[in-house]
């Protein structure tokens, strides 16, 4: 697949949005969907639909096989050791809640500490916050440096003998910083601390290798990976899935149910209670095939060039202040313009078909630290081009004229 032709795989770009060609710079929020994924959902519902893991009729067995095939594709895509280490969830949010709740229930006591960072999305803060209330757990936060990064040293400083979990993002959805997960995990493991990684912003953009990273848990959001909404993935080392209690109870996750008690099903069924997101899981296999066809190495090279170009363009625009300057930056550029509220910027850009996000991006702790209530954010997907940044810049110049800024 030629990276220059990738946009053609996404039907949304064939449409005019308010009479404009769409310049979609909001993929960190959610990515657009290639035709193969949309078609797969339609075909499944119209020609192949059945629930999975229950009936023995032809459609049910075929659907179950397709569902399980996606699990194997995900395993290979992230180089997990075993397919049973892949649990489907409703989103990355649910994946993190699953770990916080089950790990908290089994292992945490009053006074234990969970170490987060100032970069975390609310999805990797609120689930741990619940443990403050229910278990008397203390939350600590590793500080960002002036570049908007979290370093090994900033983590090391906050580890104490009470630290019982480190939960941190792989790639910040605001500063774009890519965190050194492998070395942080090495340090954590040398102190017997498990590590949960929020991989929402890394999985669509970086080549992942769970065995190399060696983290204990990794949460993925499928709708940011050119896949359907309502689907996430929890990667967890097998020993954790065996040791931790189930998260939700219901059909599909049990082995035997008696009035006197219950035994739970094998992995990963133990964590997939009730009717699952069958169509989404089956269609997500197409997202992975799409990314494999493009090649994650090509995705990384393409996006690196673009993000460098985007930074160059926005740095030349004297009103734009970029947030963070990480040495290792992913596909996110957040910025402010003095004298303009980010919501005004986003609204004016939208008139030109330029879709960005404005707000706190579910990172209020980080915005507080930066002394901001909100910022504007341009984020990339495989379909973006240099032209998109030129259009972003000329729309920003239009904003400046409207607000009479220099």
Ligand X SMILES: Cc1ncc(COP(=O)(O)O)c(C=O)c1O
- CB nearer to ligand X: pick between 93 and 375: 93
What is the rounded distance in angstroms from the CA atom of residue 108 to the CA atom of residue 105? 6
Nearest one of 373, 360, 377 to 307, comparing CA atoms:
377
- Minimum gap (Å) between residue 91 Cβ and ligand X: 3
Evaluate whether 252 touches 262 at the Cβ level (below 8 Å): no
With beta carbons less than 8 A apart as the criterion, state whether 299 and 291 touch.
yes
User: How far is residue 222's CA from residue 43's CA, in Å, rounded to a whole number?
Assistant: 19
Structure token digits, residue 21 = 């060609």
Strands 320-322 and 332-337: antiparallel
Q: How far is the CB of 39 from ligand X (least distance, A)?
A: 23
Closest to ligand X by CB, 92 or 313: 92
What is the distance between the alpha carbons of residues 260 and 152, in angstroms, rounded to a whole number?
49
CA 154 to chain centre: 23
Strands (E) located in 143-260: 163-169, 195-198, 217-221, 232-236, 254-258
Q: Is residue 362 annotated as a catalytic residue, yes or no?
A: yes
Q: State the nearest-atom distance from the C-beta of 173 to ligand X, in Å.
A: 4
The CA distance from 37 to 301, in Å, is 24
Distance, C-alpha 86 to centroid of its chain: 15
Nearer to ligand X, 291 or 348 (CB): 291
What residues make contact with ligand X under the rule CB under 6 A?
91-93, 121, 123-124, 169, 173, 198, 200-201, 221, 232, 362
Q: Are 188 and 207 in contact (CB under 8 A)?
A: no
CB of 49 to ligand X, least distance (A): 24
Given the residues 200, 215, 362, 399, select the one marked as catalytic: 362
- Least distance in Å: CB of 299 to ligand X? 18
- Report the catalytic residues: 362
């Amino acid at each position: 697949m030629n990276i220059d032709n990738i946009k053609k795989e996404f039907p949304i770009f064939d449409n005019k949005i308010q009479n404009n060609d769409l310049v979609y710079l909001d993929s960190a929020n959610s990515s657009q969907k290639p035709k193969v994924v949309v078609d797969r959902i339609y075909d499944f519902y119209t020609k192949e639909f059945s629930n999975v893991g229950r009936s023995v009729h032809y459609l049910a067995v075929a659907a179950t096989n397709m569902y399980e095939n996606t699990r194997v594709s995900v395993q290979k895509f992230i180089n997990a050791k075993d397919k049973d280490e892949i649990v489907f969830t409703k989103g990355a949010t649910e994946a993190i809640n699953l770990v916080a709740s089950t790990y908290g229930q089994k292992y945490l006591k009053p006074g234990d500490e969970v170490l987060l960072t100032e970069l975390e999305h609310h999805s990797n803060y609120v689930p741990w916050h619940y443990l403050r209330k229910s278990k008397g757990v203390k939350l600590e936060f590793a500080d960002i440096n002036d570049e908007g990064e979290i370093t090994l040293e900033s983590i090391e400083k906050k580890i104490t003998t009470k630290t019982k979990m480190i939960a941190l993002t792989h790639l910040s959805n605001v500063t774009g910083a890519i965190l050194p997960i492998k070395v942080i995990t090495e340090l954590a493991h040398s102190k017997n601390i498990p590590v949960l990684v929020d991989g929402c912003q890394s999985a669509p953009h970086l080549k992942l290798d769970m065995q190399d990273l060696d983290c204990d848990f990794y949460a993925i959001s499928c709708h940011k990976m050119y896949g359907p909404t309502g689907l996430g993935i929890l990667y967890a080392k097998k020993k954790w899935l065996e040791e931790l209690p189930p998260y939700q109870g219901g059909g599909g996750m049990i082995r035997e149910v008696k009035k006197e008690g219950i035994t739970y099903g094998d992995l990963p069924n133990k964590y997939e209670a009730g009717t699952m997101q069958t169509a989404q899981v089956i269609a997500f296999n197409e997202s992975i095939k799409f990314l494999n066809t493009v090649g994650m190495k090509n995705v990384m090279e393409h996006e690196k060039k673009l993000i460098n170009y985007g930074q160059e363009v926005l740095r030349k625009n004297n009103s734009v202040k970029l947030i963070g300057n990480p040495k290792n930056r992913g596909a996110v550029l957040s910025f402010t313009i003095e004298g303009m509220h980010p919501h005004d910027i986003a609204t004016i850009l939208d008139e030109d078909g330029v879709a960005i996000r404005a707000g706190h991006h579910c990172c209020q702790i980080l915005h507080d630290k930066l002394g901001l209530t909100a910022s504007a954010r341009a984020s990339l997907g495989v379909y973006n081009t240099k032209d998109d940044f030129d259009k972003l810049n000329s729309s920003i110049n239009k904003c400046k004229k409207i607000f009479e800024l220099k």
